Structure 1
């Protein structure tokens, strides 16, 4: 972000990063809101370390959403946040998806509600004459000869008299295709039952005037009450999942005219064929044209219009879509991703349940961060953790965040630290918030070093050719496993890309030198021309497995065959592909260490993340030469200078040990910072000196003590206990040579899930995530030692640690979708305690 930033200034600023680069607390106003409650909650939020909040309406909020008193209480909250130096975002709906303004479109603008093309009626006749009564919304009829499995489509004009003459006598299935008011399900804060259903309709996203009414009923009213804080205390608006989760096709009254103007043919006669069980190639192409048209209307009437309003009022507009992790479903309900993200100030994703987890290869965060990189936007936004369960641990929270950091997601919205206020690990919440703020800021002030573009085949998805998107995702995952960063793009982002010499630039700053395409069926002609120019300038183009089949112009129905070998080369395997891309950073013999490489001025920022539960011991090669390497120490929140680097003038080699789930932040620079503490990177596995697994005193409270080896609390008869348990052990240590010559640590890799340690009454600190390791060199004595470890679990055990509690929640989950999701997660978190091994280790 800042080409001239000095490391000395940066090292000071990480202790107090700006509010706008910090994690956002999702501040939900539910039930009765008053001035006292607002002040109490703001103090709690501020004390946790939050510097930004998103004000959002919650279930059954009082005062009523969008009433005069609602705006007054929001205004009071903004004033109080300002006094505490807290920045504010505003959610534009109560609650989601964005675009229904509460009850507004049902009551005030019913003619501007969302519309769809649907099967209005379906019936069977045995005749060649069918009586139909068309109306203003009727579009056509699809007739299927059920005996011969033949289909015929009829336009409205052919049965305007009320009678439809079928080609011959047979058994016919008749589908009457019409436009009608249909809405995606909405969840409104004042819904009598709290359900998500179609009671409160969304506006017509494809109607410019309907969206303008939404803006006037929400955005303009906020402006009337708190507009003086726009661009000051108030940073922007947040929109949540605007989409078409409907049974049918998105529709607006003039869409057929728009289609004709853009595509040059009348689509109405083809619309009935869209409702066949299986589409032939011709209809797939027409449907792809329809998806192209309606999704572009969506981009321009909804996203662009709100974006422009926010920009004119000094605000930022942030919105995430629905189903980023299920791209085929996203295309069905959103039309496209990349085009919509052209009209947000911060591209965004949604990680509300375990779309990102240890057992998944989740690539979708790259969609949003790629748009940020291509558009030169410093931040990428993530709504995270809404339904990860009450039993989530601090280590798991950190892992999910680190996974996103590794893809350059650096602005997080979450309510989890307030939602889990009674979590046994809440002691550590401020520390993990500080950790998130520091990394977010470092990624905010740095610029990406990505050199590879991977084409994402949106047109193929419109045409039902889903395999190409799967291949693009396969390529992306393979590149990341091989420490090759990249950005996704599609044809809608070409306006940001410029070819100069052998590279592709974005606004003369970011540069790419390789374009990779998955095996695709349809290549847009504007992209084809772009690739031909890039190839003619010496740019490298790689086609994975096959060349494209067709190149199409403005319509999928007008195309020509791609000429093989005209541009680029084909590679047959991921291994071959990886070898053709030059890497700036190599992690030798590991696919588990993720690398994010960015620049801060002339310095290099390297974020390393071991995604696996296995330690990494090996070599990391930085293929550039810098005089100094600094490493961030999260415990002290400061950078230290690495002493044991090897440099040959061309690259830097680091021998490195990384604990499971560990992150490291390095900065390689020629800038020398005087007075920085020096440190050696760990270059060896922990060596066990003494094991401490047996004969523990285990205090579940001050009046009850167990004597046992290390087991989980369930095995000890405390299956539903949630809170703190104190472990005490007396042990003898006689390794004089280690006391004199080695650095010794207490190592507890199986803490579930938080630990504080005292050795010989000296407090050594708390840990909530890997490595669960404490330096005991100074506290350890020859002879008798007293070790005390306090363990805290999560609320999961108390929630469902007995069969009776579990069955009760299972019944509740039958009526609560979100509980049914989080319950599965919480069941995994019941096991609690300090498990073996517990050992004294030495590290070289």
Structure 2
């Protein structure tokens, strides 16, 4: 028995029978959005309107405008970033967006990270250089206290010599063509501090003893002395993928003065303009340190450190820069890293947030990759944004949104799913499902390039696949994916997340490990948390069906505890887990004890925390920490679990996450045992589930739910059908629903505590032998290129690349497959049409009526018996990918890689040509068209 797709008349009937079964409203916000690349900002009003109309027609809800490098040959159309002419085009775009119902976000940078030619040495990213000297009693330093920064140039293409560049870098000509990545000019670095450390523990600040020539006018007192000179260098990171007029140095992300200088340039450019149509300003992921070295210093670091950590860092430089650090050395390093994290939050993220909010806009932020506690940076964002493919990575953004009361979580979606031109809409759909399962509810494609009508095929493209462009043949069916996402998000933007477990983010364990550099960068489990209890606990809970969120120390401070519950931002959790951690801040431990005393349950996986992190107030903090530990009197509670009752709550200790959660009475969703994955949200009358069958097997069975319900409505978001699910209750009063899902299919469940009247969801089972649709297929090429091949007739379906002639082998476009067939001589309630193998999307017509668009991974649909005549005409319009035409262009050296800066690199090194760029000339042709076998399966309707 299995579920198939019920179309047209049945769907309309379900909406007429009962108003209680209805889909949420589709808005521009529930539709997917896309990053919109303005290459060279070479835009004009006619093509802006033309592009935006196509996006609107395809079902997009909004765009994020991001200017980047330009296309060669269009230099005369380049518009300087933030110039009056550029702002004119922005104003026009906002006007058109309002007319078309397209929301508009704007990157607060051209390319990434924040930076530009107006960022001088004072505000550019900094690094630290340390020189050490040794003196004995009575000696004076003979060396000059000086450090000369050596020149460095890296670029995306040919690397120019430093002599051809001008300081300041904005005065260098032809920066678009140079595509600089990092530039350091030869220059003396300013001395920040010179400290002398004696062998009996003394430390003396002798910075003011150094004259303008670098001579130290100081005689060493009695004893042996080590001198530490700290110089401030310029990291040299340039803005990546900058558009014309935006090439320059990246800002110092730890300096409030730097972000103010940076944003003031926007304020001046926007002065007197109505930009109220901008919904949000965007910041891409922190990618400063993907160059040589780290941006790890800021001029105010010593003052900031003393203010935030309570002691003078200058007295501990040997510990901070120790090559083989002791435990106390690592405590100083931990405090340095925590201070940098604070500066990312208070000196960058929050001032940027205030600037945007003052202009009536939100911020959408990708803080991952930062040398900071990214949970806190996500929380400070109006719309946290994630990216990638790892579901545990997504949870950093979604968790922060949940515990800080944010309604939207976005994702940079489908970046580099595969090599150029190889990702299908089916691939994208499956990638999007993972984001939705991870708690994302605001999809952004990555991305769409503005392309003028005059551009030769395939048009202007961004270097990172997937290419969502109108010249791709599957664009004609792109709207089917967008409608699917909009229907899913119309539910997932309602209510609130319903996760029951908080997992403590053990950032101080990581801060307290040496690592390979002064700072660490935080993105997902890799590399800092690989193999840790944190990773093990998260993985176990994900696989076992527990809904959970990560939580930071700052976020824990906002928790309110009652008996059996932890509350924050209208979210209600049942427990918090400390996962085999070593260091726990005193304030956090004290808060957890308070929460337990009020009735909360705190789970400790494996080992009890043993110490506080950092050096500040270490003795008093340790004493208080031990006092709190002494309150935890663990006794055997059975099942290999120990329990320490404290107040109305308790701490639980054990080595098995599943056992601990079960002991704490945390109910899991056991549907994960059947190959299903889920996310769950709560609304006033029940719960919404988004379910996906991520197994390789059909689900055709009863599926248990982890919440109580009197009724469950099933929604198929791909084909917009709905109805009451078959429902029964187990002995514990929990519901089980009957579910039929093919691999890769999804459903939305709406549970309710109230009875619901309405139509039943349609279930079917196979009732006879399949009937192959055989005969002569007419294959007519409808649109695409480079030329339309001649019509072909065939009885055996094959890839059209196997047809005779060269035109069909290089063809990328759409072909119509049509055939006449007789209705099978079986009695059936309905028929399943199975197209078999399809490359890549299919529009299905029966007797002249469009039934559905199928985008994969399954190409099956249901045809009600009444739609079949005795003799029928079946037409399937199949669109392939751009790739075969690209292969031909590469073989014939037809240029389409025409871009400055990053001019179309390959995702995989084996796909590089002799010039180092992507080249498909050695590829085999990719299958295209309808390959079948096509068959009809008789179905029997199953009454509930």
Calculate the TM-score normalised by the size of structure 1: 0.82
2:412 is aligned with 1:383: yes
2:277 is aligned with 1:263: no
Which residue does 1:519 correspond to in 2? 580
Q: How does 1:194-593 map to 2 (within 5 A)?
A: 200-219=248-267, 221-222=269-270, 224-227=272-275, 229=276, 233-242=277-286, 244-245=288-289, 247-248=293-294, 250-268=296-314, 270-271=316-317, 274=320, 278-321=324-367, 324=368, 330=369, 333-349=370-386, 351=387, 355-356=388-389, 361-388=390-417, 389-414=420-445, 416=447, 419-464=468-513, 466-467=528-529, 470-507=532-569, 509-552=570-613, 555=616, 560=622, 563=629, 566=633, 568-577=651-660, 579-580=662-663, 582=665, 586-588=669-671, 590=673, 592-593=675-676
Q: How does 1:85-124 map to 2 (within 5 A)?
A: 85-98=101-114, 100=115, 102-106=116-120, 110-118=121-129
Which residue does 2:762 correspond to in 1? 680
Cα shift at 1:603: 2.3
Q: Is contact 1:131–1:163 with CA below 8 Å preserved after alignment? A: no
Cα shift at 1:212: 1.5
Cα shift at 1:223: 5.4
In structure 2, C-alpha distance between the alignment counterparts of 1:781 and 1:820, rounded to whole Å:
47
In structure 1, C-alpha distance between the alignment counterparts of 2:129 and 2:280, rounded to whole Å:
37
Judging changes above 3 Å, is the alpha-carbon distance between structure 1 residues 204 and 729 closer, same or farther for their aligned structure 2 residues? same
Cα shift at 1:256: 0.9
In structure 1, C-alpha distance between the alignment counterparts of 2:894 and 2:67, rounded to whole Å:
32
- Match for 2:145 among 116, 120, 133? 133
Judging changes above 3 Å, is the alpha-carbon distance between structure 1 residues 163 and 699 closer, same or farther for their aligned structure 2 residues? farther
Q: Deviation per CA, 1:560-591, whole angstroms, max 9, x where unpaired?
A: 37649655233323543564465656344626
In structure 2, C-alpha distance between the alignment counterparts of 1:317 and 1:311, rounded to whole Å:
8
Cα shift at 1:807: 13
Which residue does 1:178 correspond to in 2? 231
- Match for 1:793 among 880, 899, 902? 880
In structure 2, C-alpha distance between the alignment counterparts of 1:404 and 1:623, rounded to whole Å:
22
Q: Deviation per CA, 1:796-821, whole angstroms, max 9, x where unpaired?
A: 33323799489999999997575435
In structure 2, C-alpha distance between the alignment counterparts of 1:572 and 1:810, rounded to whole Å:
55
Q: Is contact 2:543–2:672 with CA below 8 Å preserved after alignment? A: no
Cα shift at 1:470: 4.2
Judging changes above 3 Å, is the alpha-carbon distance between structure 1 residues 268 and 89 closer, same or farther for their aligned structure 2 residues? same
Q: Is contact 1:237–1:315 with CA below 8 Å preserved after alignment? A: yes
Which structure dedicates a bigger proportion of its chain to helix?
Answer: 1
In structure 1, C-alpha distance between the alignment counterparts of 2:345 and 2:31, rounded to whole Å:
29
In structure 2, C-alpha distance between the alignment counterparts of 1:539 and 1:17, rounded to whole Å:
40
Q: Is contact 1:724–1:793 with CA below 8 Å preserved after alignment? A: yes
Which residue does 1:610 correspond to in 2? 693
Cα shift at 1:119: 5.5
Cα shift at 1:237: 1.4
Cα shift at 1:625: 3.7
In structure 2, C-alpha distance between the alignment counterparts of 1:624 and 1:11, rounded to whole Å:
20
Q: Is contact 1:602–1:669 with CA below 8 Å preserved after alignment? A: yes
Q: Deviation per CA, 1:5-31, whole angstroms, max 9, x where unpaired?
A: xx99896663x4233443223333334
- Match for 1:830 among 922, 926, 929? 926
RCO greater where, 1 or 2, for CA within 8 Å and sep 6 or more?
2
Cα shift at 1:268: 3.1
Which residue does 2:240 correspond to in 1? 187
- Runs of 5+ consecutive residues of structure 2 not aligned to the other structure: 1-16, 71-76, 134-139, 147-188, 450-467, 515-527, 634-643, 645-650, 782-788, 912-917
Q: Is contact 1:451–1:514 with CA below 8 Å preserved after alignment? A: yes
Cα shift at 1:547: 2.0
* Structure 1, 251-260 or 463-472: larger mean CA deviation: 463-472
2:854 is aligned with 1:767: yes
In structure 2, C-alpha distance between the alignment counterparts of 1:62 and 1:740, rounded to whole Å:
66
Q: Secondary structure at the match of 1:111?
A: coil
Q: How does 1:573-722 map to 2 (within 5 A)?
A: 573-577=656-660, 579-580=662-663, 582=665, 586-588=669-671, 590=673, 592-634=675-717, 637=720, 639-643=722-726, 645=728, 650-671=733-754, 676-681=758-763, 689-690=769-770, 692=772, 697=777, 699=779, 701=781, 703-705=790-792, 707=794, 709-712=796-799, 720-722=810-812
In structure 1, C-alpha distance between the alignment counterparts of 2:132 and 2:46, rounded to whole Å:
55
- Match for 1:18 among 5, 27, 35? 27
Q: Deviation per CA, 1:520-572, whole angstroms, max 9, x where unpaired?
A: 12111111112212222342222222222323477496563764965523332
Q: Is contact 2:584–2:611 with CA below 8 Å preserved after alignment? A: yes
In structure 2, C-alpha distance between the alignment counterparts of 1:658 and 1:339, rounded to whole Å:
38
* Structure 1, 401-410 or 377-386: larger mean CA deviation: 377-386
In structure 1, C-alpha distance between the alignment counterparts of 2:905 and 2:504, rounded to whole Å:
35
In structure 1, C-alpha distance between the alignment counterparts of 2:900 and 2:47, rounded to whole Å:
30
In structure 2, C-alpha distance between the alignment counterparts of 1:69 and 1:808, rounded to whole Å:
30
In structure 1, C-alpha distance between the alignment counterparts of 2:663 and 2:835, rounded to whole Å:
42
Q: Deviation per CA, 1:152-179, whole angstroms, max 9, x where unpaired?
A: 9998669955599999xxxxx9997521
Q: Is contact 2:391–2:434 with CA below 8 Å preserved after alignment? A: no
Judging changes above 3 Å, is the alpha-carbon distance between structure 1 residues 375 and 118 closer, same or farther for their aligned structure 2 residues? same
Judging changes above 3 Å, is the alpha-carbon distance between structure 1 residues 749 and 289 closer, same or farther for their aligned structure 2 residues? farther
Judging changes above 3 Å, is the alpha-carbon distance between structure 1 residues 254 and 41 closer, same or farther for their aligned structure 2 residues? same
* Structure 1, 299-308 or 645-654: larger mean CA deviation: 645-654
Cα shift at 1:97: 0.9
Judging changes above 3 Å, is the alpha-carbon distance between structure 1 residues 628 and 223 closer, same or farther for their aligned structure 2 residues? farther
Calculate the TM-score normalised by the size of structure 2: 0.74
In structure 2, C-alpha distance between the alignment counterparts of 1:637 and 1:782, rounded to whole Å:
25
Q: Is contact 2:237–2:249 with CA below 8 Å preserved after alignment? A: yes
Q: Is contact 1:747–1:840 with CA below 8 Å preserved after alignment? A: yes
Q: Is contact 1:642–1:681 with CA below 8 Å preserved after alignment? A: no
Q: Is contact 2:711–2:754 with CA below 8 Å preserved after alignment? A: yes
Judging changes above 3 Å, is the alpha-carbon distance between structure 1 residues 33 and 487 closer, same or farther for their aligned structure 2 residues? same
Judging changes above 3 Å, is the alpha-carbon distance between structure 1 residues 472 and 585 closer, same or farther for their aligned structure 2 residues? closer
- Runs of 5+ consecutive residues of structure 1 not aligned to the other structure: 1-6, 123-127, 144-151, 168-172, 325-329
In structure 1, C-alpha distance between the alignment counterparts of 2:321 and 2:87, rounded to whole Å:
45
Cα shift at 1:761: 5.8
In structure 2, C-alpha distance between the alignment counterparts of 1:814 and 1:647, rounded to whole Å:
62
Q: Secondary structure at the match of 1:496?
A: coil
In structure 1, C-alpha distance between the alignment counterparts of 2:95 and 2:776, rounded to whole Å:
54
